[in-house]
Structure 1
Amino acid sequence: MIRGRAASWAFWLGLAGITAVLSLNGKEIAQATGLSWLTKYPQAWQLHLDRQISAALKWLLEEATFGPFQFRDFTRLLSALIEAPYTLLRNLVVDGFAWGRGQQAVPILPPMAWLPVILGFGLLALRLGGARLAVLVTAAFLYLLLFGLWQSAMVTLVSVVIAVPLGVLGGAALGILAFRVRWIDRALRPVLDLMQTVPVFAYLVPILFLFGFGPMAALVATVIYAMPPMVRITTIGLRGVPEEVVEAGRMAGCTRRQLLWKVQLPSARRMMMVGVNQVIMLTLNMVIIASMIGAGGLGYDVLTALRKLDVGRGVEAGFGIVVLAIALDKLSQAAANRGPRDPSGGSWLYRHRWILAWAAVVVASYPLAMAIPPLAVYPAGWQLSTGGFWSAVVSWINLNLYDQIEAVKVAALTWVLVPVKTFLLGIPWAWGLVLAGTIAGGIGGWRLGVMAVLMTGFIITAGLWPEAMITIYLCGVSVVIAMLIGVPIGILAGQNDRAYGVVTLILDTLQTLPSFVYLIPVVMLFKVGDFSAMIAVVMYAIVPAIRYAAVGIRGVDPQLVEAGIVSGCTRGQLIRKVKLPLAMPSILLGLNQTIMLAISMLVITALVGTRDLGQEVYIALTKANAGKGIVAGLAVAFIAMMSDRIITAAIARRTAARETHA
């Protein structure tokens, strides 16, 4: 065994040594041997997949026919189906109803006043989660009202209300199909993997090409992006129904359809509500990003503030996103934890008294709003603003701490970021192909090695090798920093109940923050560039590093800890030699999730001036170049999938080794 470990260490050290030599001297070696094409992939060899994809999409949109119908008829039908309820809800709470169009439009009914909206969500929270939740949700909507974010928040809320049911129903339908038909399950797995790793901007590019600029395109992209978790969780929930429950349904004479609708789906309800929660969070995150293609709402307010460097408005709109996300998150969690309602208690009027009371308030609000204008539109003079405060804070920091911030920034660039970037950019593409296959194959077997070679080959032949290396450099440095900070915090929280409670509360809050929000303080304090991108990625990706380390430490068997204490271990030895080795699979899982979040955030940081694959996707979005956006998005997805498979294989090996020793 010792010889095997020594040989393994020698192999990996040798591989690292060759990589270092080729990175530092690859160009000189290639020129001396006349093989310069090994260091820079020849442009003539590139496949130009972006052009072919763009041409295919153009043909699909302009020429493709299915019987008597063209493909554009399908996109128009889909847009119309989504546009009808969206327009109705938007008119109800934002624009009001009018007869006619444009300047000739005659107002018929004003939008619903703010009071019944706040009251309606407060009553819903009271019904689902009690007084505490009602106070929280009401306070969240009051913040949106008092700080002048009401109209933008309602636009965002309408998008969420339309997109979430579509995502839930579509995801649940596909999940049921995957549960019932094995080949559909096998076919959906790689598609779902791809959908969950393709960066959010990449969704917008082909959707923008097919559906045009506007809220309909944004909603289609949102539904597609938010659907995969519902598919997976529905399938897992149905498979997790106890066999004895299913057998009892069969013995009761249920048909296959009755078994599904009356036994399996009700039994999987709690798990499926977790999927609904995930769809809500992803929908809110995507709706914010989709503001770039015409969705409007709070995301557009944040984007405008970033472009204008309006610190105060950006922070207020960012907090608006946060409070709306928290309110919707808590409501969905309360709905998931609430048991099925007993329909037999009391009369119909009694059972629906809350809805009837709210409907009465809605009806009464229209004449009241006409008589009392502040009930219709909250007066601008009554609104609050912290814009001056936040601008003053940022100005004070920039005036008094500029030298210290700049010193940290320069040190990080000089000693960490630039050397790592230079090293990775120096790796020849040919050796990178060998390296990817060797690492993946050595950890996960030959199948994983072949997959890594094929995916890396796609990136190389697409002419994106330098951009991929910059992506790996930014992601790698950010993940290392996030793990170095997050794992010790997780270890501390895992050993102290009070610290665990505080950390969990902070992490739950951070998980509700859309990725867009992290850019606001970063841009205001650190301006743009790789350092700013790294800070934003660390802030966004540190949550799983902390959470999984804490969960792993808390999950260690107390009997093993007691055995270590009896053996005379000090507190430090107990952590290093007992708890950490046993918690390592959980920590590695946290590493995997940290990498996934870091890669997804890197695409967002394209807004702060990075030059990686995320920037390629963003440029494709601004130019409506669908082919380029899809190719760059697939490159990001392949990097994410390779890292996911390699770490998953490492976790499996670690777990198997621990079970063998046990």
Structure 2
Amino acid sequence: MEGRLDHGVYQWLAIILITLGLIAAQPHIDWLTSYPKNLIVPFADWLNAMMDWLVKHLGWLFMGVSWLLEWPIKGVRIILQALPWLVTGFLICLVAFIASGWKLMLFTLASCLYMVIIGYWSESMNTLSLVAISVPMAILFGFGLGVWAFNSRQAERVIMPMLDILQTVPAFAYLLLILMLFGFGTVVGLIASVLYSFPPMVRNTIVGLRRVPAEVIESGLMSGATARQLFWQVRVPSSKRQLLLGVNQATMASLSMVIIASIIGGTADIGWEVLSQIRKAQFGESLLAGLVIALMAMVIDRVTSGLASQSGEYENRKGSQKLRQHSLMIAVGGGLAFYALAKLVPVLEVWPREMEFSPARSMNESLTYLIVNFRKEIEMIKTVAFFFVMLPTKIGLQGSISPFTWGFELQTWHSLAYATIMTVIGAICAYRFNPYIAIFVLLFAIFFYFGLTKMPWPSLVLIYSFAAWRVGGLRLGIGTFFGLGFIVVTGIWPEAMLSVYLCSIAVIISFILGAGLGIWAAGSDTVSAILRPINDTLQTMPLFVILIPFVMIFKIGEFTALLAIIAYAIVPAIRYTEHGLRNLSEGVIEAAEMMGCTKRQMLWSVKIPLALPVMMLGLNQTIMYGIAMLVIAALVGTNGLEQVVYIGLSDGNFGVGLIAGMALAIIAMIADRMTQAWSRNRQSDLDISVT
């Protein structure tokens, strides 16, 4: 009952009435369905003209930079390819031991042996050579920008929006820009990797430098430190853990982008191997190659995160301090010894092709058996999901119900019954719970009946902008209005709604399933222990590797893309829900227990309401993960903005690809700002803080 007289409720009801009016007028007014073509602003043509001018007049400069950047990549590649696999594996395992001890070293050893035995050692070293150059460049550039933003508020106001754009615009959108400026080859992957991976380093540098305790700074000043000494000998060492976390995130982002860049890089690395096997529809071969990428990602992630978390703990491990002090000596001595051994035993230098082991054929046969024997079940899952969930969301019940799909023709009384049922549900929600829940029910009923892609674009712009204003204030509302307006006037609104439709379904399913698993994990250490390695694997595995099993089982299409997005986006929903429920105030829990709350009451009336701000941050990240995976899903035949970006890349149309990428970035930033604003409002209402 509370909130019945809230002005916001009446405003929402007015917007719903306006929406219904626009829907009624839609058959008679063409521009309500599609924005007039003669009013479309040709931003894409302008961008293409600008790019042509840039290439014509400054192409020589960029090609010169490309030529210079080729040399360090070639140098590292020559070294890695010349070294016996035994020596390189030993050095990598040594770094793993220094970072995190025996367990990580054994995992790294197993990973290296897998790459050798499966026959992908050479391709893995080509990928590693690119990472070895791109990561230091990203770290140095990101650290420099972070320091600048830390010292200058004006610089920060410019840098932070730039980071938002770089982290939300799909990489495909600017791969073409790099390709046109720097030419075809490994440099494309290098520059794309740096552009994608330096933003986390910038953010962590700013956070780390700002979190240095005031008493530490005061101690440095009292010791007579100069400004330079205060920075390098006080601030930087004190923020070491945060900086190393930035190194970890930059490294993972760099590896991810190097693989995506293989699409146009054409180099003989492991990313190209995966792509070529996927194109041949070779399930076993592509999954085995994809596992190499996943193992590389997990090893690099564990090593860098292990170095980040040492900070005093490392030296306390028995014998580790001595090993660290002599690590260079051990590396040189062990490397020389293993090099000599490899020269004596050829199999330890280059693994013979006849000794390679590949279970790809067995995997392909198993998949064929699965598809042949469970064809009906697979088709039933696809059919039910597509005709009863995806298609109604896309084109509405009025467009999807037919004798072929639902078994009957949609009649007038069906529509009236649907409207009556949804109105009654809304009224019950308004009376028993909250009027805003009723508003949500009514909006859902409209979307599901008429279809997201068939709604009048003015009503959707109005609904999204008003929602942003109610959640985040006037500034966010205006920003949302102009952001969506940009999508409309550039003529890509229909494609944008296709992306929103697919991503929305995936995010809703991911959040519901993820929150459920997170609640279960928060109440059971066993479940938490089981889910943790699964989450780690999904989060560190490069995006398009996740596509492989779904493509091979369900073939290409929107349903395959939906499953891949869910598999990737479910992780933050699980993690944040468990974290929120496990880190509640003990005083509140004890008070609830003293009042005699049952377990169900404790969960639904105490824990979940208090953990909701953290869970909403999980929803925020679920949306971001969903959009990131949506872009990769363009490879399996989606039709939204992500496909426009990919087509722009394939056709060499820089303007079209970048405009579509910017539209995706706008959608991502709107969702990001709205969920963060809601979380902050909830924290303020509960007088809690989220860390």
What's the TM-score once normalised by structure 1's chain length? 0.91
Unaligned runs of 5+ in 1: 64-70, 95-110
Q: Provide the rounded CA distance (Å) in 2 between the counterparts of 1:494 and 1:153.
A: 38
Match of 1:86 in 2: 73
Match of 1:554 in 2: 582
Deviation at 1:283, TM superposition (A): 0.8
1:398-427 deviation line (CA, Å, top 9, x unaligned):
011111111111111111101111111112
Q: Provide the rounded CA distance (Å) in 2 between the counterparts of 1:319 and 1:5.
A: 57
Match of 2:530 in 1: 502
Change in 2 beyond 3 A, CA 1:391/1:253: same
Q: Provide the rounded CA distance (Å) in 2 between the counterparts of 1:270 and 1:603.
A: 32
Match of 2:2 in 1: 2
| 2:472–2:674 CA contact under 8 A, matched in 1 | yes
Structure 2 SS opposite 1:2: coil
Identity of aligned residues (%): 39
| 1:26–1:426 CA contact under 8 A, matched in 2 | no
Which of the numbers 261, 273, 278 marks the counterpart of 2:249?
278
Change in 2 beyond 3 A, CA 1:350/1:621: closer
Deviation at 1:256, TM superposition (A): 1.2
Deviation at 1:352, TM superposition (A): 6.3
1:266-315 deviation line (CA, Å, top 9, x unaligned):
10011100000001111111111110111441111111111000011111
Q: How does 1:29-428 map to 2 (within 5 A)?
A: 31=28, 35-63=29-57, 71-94=58-81, 111-294=82-265, 295-339=267-311, 353-363=326-336, 369=342, 372-422=345-395, 423-428=451-456
Deviation at 1:366, TM superposition (A): 5.9
Does residue 514 of the first structure (1) align with residue 542 of the second (2)? yes
1:12-62 deviation line (CA, Å, top 9, x unaligned):
355346546645x4531xx1xxx3223211111111111111111121221
Task: Tell me the amino acid that sits aligned with residue 8 of structure 1.
Answer: G
Deviation at 1:136, TM superposition (A): 1.2
Aligned residues: 626
Q: Provide the rounded CA distance (Å) in 2 between the counterparts of 1:82 and 1:572.
A: 61
Task: Tell me the amino acid that sits aligned with residue 27 of structure 1.
Answer: Q
Q: Provide the rounded CA distance (Å) in 1 between the counterparts of 2:379 and 2:18.
A: 36
Q: Provide the rounded CA distance (Å) in 1 between the counterparts of 2:240 and 2:621.
A: 26
1:337-365 deviation line (CA, Å, top 9, x unaligned):
233799xxx9xx99764433433454566
Change in 2 beyond 3 A, CA 1:82/1:642: same
Which of the numbers 468, 480, 483 marks the counterpart of 1:440?
468
Greater shift, 332-341 or 218-227, is seen at 332-341
Q: Provide the rounded CA distance (Å) in 1 between the counterparts of 2:263 and 2:282.
A: 18
Task: Tell me the amino acid that sits aligned with residue 387 of structure 1.
Answer: A
Change in 2 beyond 3 A, CA 1:351/1:147: closer
Change in 2 beyond 3 A, CA 1:40/1:128: closer
Deviation at 1:369, TM superposition (A): 4.9
Task: Tell me the amino acid that sits aligned with residue 250 of structure 1.
Answer: L
Change in 2 beyond 3 A, CA 1:302/1:364: same
Structure 2 SS opposite 1:610: coil
Q: How does 1:637-656 map to 2 (within 5 A)?
A: 637-656=665-684
Match of 1:101 in 2: none
| 2:87–2:339 CA contact under 8 A, matched in 1 | no
Task: Tell me the amino acid that sits aligned with residue 278 of structure 2.
Answer: L
Task: Tell me the amino acid that sits aligned with residue 84 of structure 1.
Answer: W
Greater shift, 370-379 or 134-143, is seen at 370-379
Task: Tell me the amino acid that sits aligned with residue 468 of structure 1.
Answer: A
Structure 2 SS opposite 1:47: coil
Does residue 449 of the first structure (1) align with residue 477 of the second (2)? yes
Q: Provide the rounded CA distance (Å) in 1 between the counterparts of 2:617 and 2:214.
A: 30
Q: How does 1:560-571 map to 2 (within 5 A)?
A: 560-571=588-599
Q: Provide the rounded CA distance (Å) in 1 between the counterparts of 2:236 and 2:209.
A: 7
| 1:215–1:293 CA contact under 8 A, matched in 2 | no
Task: Tell me the amino acid that sits aligned with residue 167 of structure 1.
Answer: A
Unaligned runs of 5+ in 2: 396-450
Change in 2 beyond 3 A, CA 1:254/1:17: same
Which of the numbers 512, 529, 541 marks the counterpart of 2:569?
541
Q: Provide the rounded CA distance (Å) in 2 between the counterparts of 1:522 and 1:5.
A: 49
Deviation at 1:207, TM superposition (A): 0.9
Greater shift, 398-407 or 374-383, is seen at 374-383
Deviation at 1:601, TM superposition (A): 0.7
Structure 1 SS opposite 2:687: helix
Task: Tell me the amino acid that sits aligned with residue 43 of structure 1.
Answer: K
1:368-388 deviation line (CA, Å, top 9, x unaligned):
555543233201111111202
Match of 2:26 in 1: 27
Change in 2 beyond 3 A, CA 1:234/1:2: same
Change in 2 beyond 3 A, CA 1:80/1:277: same
Q: Provide the rounded CA distance (Å) in 2 between the counterparts of 1:547 and 1:351.
A: 33
Greater shift, 118-127 or 546-555, is seen at 118-127
Q: Provide the rounded CA distance (Å) in 1 between the counterparts of 2:25 and 2:632.
A: 33
CA RMSD of aligned residues (A): 2.1
What's the TM-score once normalised by structure 2's chain length? 0.87
| 1:486–1:542 CA contact under 8 A, matched in 2 | yes
| 1:215–1:296 CA contact under 8 A, matched in 2 | no
Q: Provide the rounded CA distance (Å) in 1 between the counterparts of 2:375 and 2:166.
A: 41
Q: Provide the rounded CA distance (Å) in 1 between the counterparts of 2:16 and 2:368.
A: 46
Q: Provide the rounded CA distance (Å) in 2 between the counterparts of 1:16 and 1:635.
A: 26
Deviation at 1:83, TM superposition (A): 1.6
| 1:482–1:541 CA contact under 8 A, matched in 2 | yes
| 2:22–2:32 CA contact under 8 A, matched in 1 | no
Change in 2 beyond 3 A, CA 1:128/1:366: closer
Q: Provide the rounded CA distance (Å) in 2 between the counterparts of 1:313 and 1:112.
A: 26
Task: Tell me the amino acid that sits aligned with residue 420 of structure 1.
Answer: T
Q: Provide the rounded CA distance (Å) in 2 between the counterparts of 1:16 and 1:443.
A: 18
Structure 2 SS opposite 1:533: helix
Greater shift, 49-58 or 121-130, is seen at 121-130
| 1:545–1:587 CA contact under 8 A, matched in 2 | yes
Greater shift, 352-361 or 83-92, is seen at 352-361
Match of 1:526 in 2: 554
Task: Tell me the amino acid that sits aligned with residue 206 of structure 1.
Answer: L
Q: Provide the rounded CA distance (Å) in 2 between the counterparts of 1:20 and 1:591.
A: 29
Deviation at 1:505, TM superposition (A): 2.6
Greater shift, 123-132 or 113-122, is seen at 123-132
| 1:208–1:624 CA contact under 8 A, matched in 2 | no
Deviation at 1:212, TM superposition (A): 1.6
Deviation at 1:445, TM superposition (A): 1.3
Change in 2 beyond 3 A, CA 1:258/1:4: farther
Change in 2 beyond 3 A, CA 1:155/1:11: same
Q: Provide the rounded CA distance (Å) in 1 between the counterparts of 2:255 and 2:284.
A: 22
